[in-house]
A and B are shown apart, each in its own frame.
Chain A
């Protein structure tokens, strides 16, 4: 099992992703719940803490150590990789956002970037029935 996990969350992250992350943890696993923000002000800190309190609550209920981490950057994918390296994490867990049509073809995929560049294991969680 994993010792240090980065769980990437956004407003679009479904509960299923968190549940899978919980299943991948042992009681000793340290989980960093990571949200990348544009500007790290007091307003953002308060807002993000309130919005994602349910995530840390799920880990607390499972008796797993977790902390909400905010990183200030405009480049989400490289911020995740840098954070994982800095904390010497051995797994990155993230959801996938389905994008169809032209938008899907042209949009840059964070999960694709993570798979190709992460220094550790990457777990992508796709909701059942969700398009790839």
Chain B
């Protein structure tokens, strides 16, 4: 441990604080303020590291170009391209339409509504961006439950937890999946082969547990929804086009790269381009609004984090974690459970993106190189699980959690961190246990 190690870890902690706090800073000698948003916070960290000579320009380049199978630039292109396709589809009102359709199908049964919302959240999460599912579904669930005279809380918890759990099922479900899968070299189909079943069983366990906890809050009879689903659809043709593009993107991404000859980021970028051309023709002036909804801040956010974690790797912090993990890697059961629960808790404390990048560098490090192939694969799968499950235990685990809480706050429905964690720690250890057990059985049978 030297001074640079201390500076790099303190900078990492400070960066995470800035990303959550997003402070407004007064520009000296002016009356203007600038907001350090979560996206730009890691670049402040990079500036500190450069100014203190903790890193040099080679480390910065390494953070962008990547190493050991992880290509930050490719991950960013993939995430932004997929986000654009989903944002554009969201703009047509498709998500509201499908949610209202589901609400109407449940007629006057509160229990059926609970189940149907679970199913539609699962379906949308599997194939689209989880942030968009949270943003749109939260508003619709709030609307439908309020109008039906029900307590929205059980539905909102079920929705948020389901999004994070089923986000682990497919490669495209969560950016953290892409980070971990790319590091291990898991493709789209191989990812689904390992993660689909754990996600499914974990999701069903979560549904059963929530049903047990909230069964008294979900009435048998409710006022049927009067909302006309079609009135939520702003552009029917645009929605059909968007769904077609999304399905084609997923189909092509699920084909082996040897067939298509195009990397996954290339496929995503191609279909994003098609969607962009369609939107430019169909929506013209509104294209700028759709573009403004793309989470551009993920670009500086991830690049900055990759560089900062690169500095942690150079100064020995990731090796420290790797050496501890290597000690337990002799037992697949211990390493899978250990990585899953540790990464869940760390994601809850520091957000799942930096946690995933930090863990990936540790698992790639020389200290973990001696671990068996099964332990390495098990750790990667456990990391994917932990990165998505952690935000269900502690709201700080993902930026989507903060957004969810804010949307509800604006609706006058305040959920505190402790209220959230109370439900999270009741449910998620069991859910994570089921997911880990499934992963272990899969490793034993197919590993």
CB within 8 Å of B: which residues of A?
10-12, 38-44, 46-47, 72-76, 97, 99-103, 105-108, 112-113, 116-117
Contact = CB atoms under 8 A, between A and B. Distances in A.
Q: Among B136, B409, B411, B415, which residue has the most Cβ atoms of chain A within 10 A?
A: B409
B175 to A, nearest CB: 18
Nearest to B142: A11
Contacts of B418: 101
Given A39-B91, A74-B135, A74-B293, A99 B143 contact: no
A102 B417 contact: yes
Contacts of B410: 10-12, 76, 97
Nearest to A36: B410
A100 B411 contact: no
Interface of B: 20-22, 24, 33, 35, 90-91, 93, 96, 100, 135-136, 139, 143, 227-228, 231-234, 289, 292-293, 395-396, 402, 405-406, 409-412, 414-418
A107 B409 CA distance: 10
A43 B228 contact: yes
A65 B423 CA distance: 47
**Majority secondary structure of chain B interface residues (helix, strand, loop or mixed):** helix
B159 to A, nearest CB: 15
A72 B143 CA distance: 18
Given A97-B410, A117-B33, A103 B416 contact: yes
Contact of B231 (A42, A74, A101): A42
A44 B135 CA distance: 15
Given A106-B21, A116-B33, A43 B409 contact: no
B20 A106 contact: yes
B411 A12 contact: yes
Given A101-B417, A106-B20, A106-B21, A43 B406 contact: no
A76 B410 CA distance: 10
24 contacts: A12-B410, A12-B411, A12-B412, A38-B136, A39-B91, A39-B96, A41-B231, A42-B231, A74-B293, A75-B292, A76-B410, A100-B416, A101-B418, A102-B396, A102-B417, A103-B409, A103-B415, A103-B416, A106-B21, A106-B396, A112-B24, A113-B24, A116-B24, A117-B33
Contacts of A41: 93, 96, 231-234
B64 to A, nearest CB: 28
Contacts of A12: 409-412
A108 B406 contact: yes
A12 B232 CA distance: 23
A72 B90 CA distance: 13
Given A41-B231, A97-B409, A117-B33, 13 more contacts: A11-B411, A39-B93, A39-B136, A41-B93, A42-B231, A43-B96, A43-B100, A73-B289, A74-B135, A97-B414, A102-B416, A103-B417, A106-B402
A11 B412 contact: yes
A39 B24 contact: no
B24 A43 contact: no
Contacts of A102: 396, 416-417
Nearest to B235: A41
B369 to A, nearest CB: 38
Count chain B CB atoms within 10 A of each CB in A39, A100, A101 and give the residue with the most.
Answer: A39
A43 B97 CA distance: 9
Contacts of A112: 24
Nearest to B229: A43
B133 to A, nearest CB: 13
A108 B93 CA distance: 27
Contacts of B228: 43
Contacts of B411: 10-12
A46 B351 CA distance: 38
Nearest to B234: A41
A35 to B, nearest CB: 10
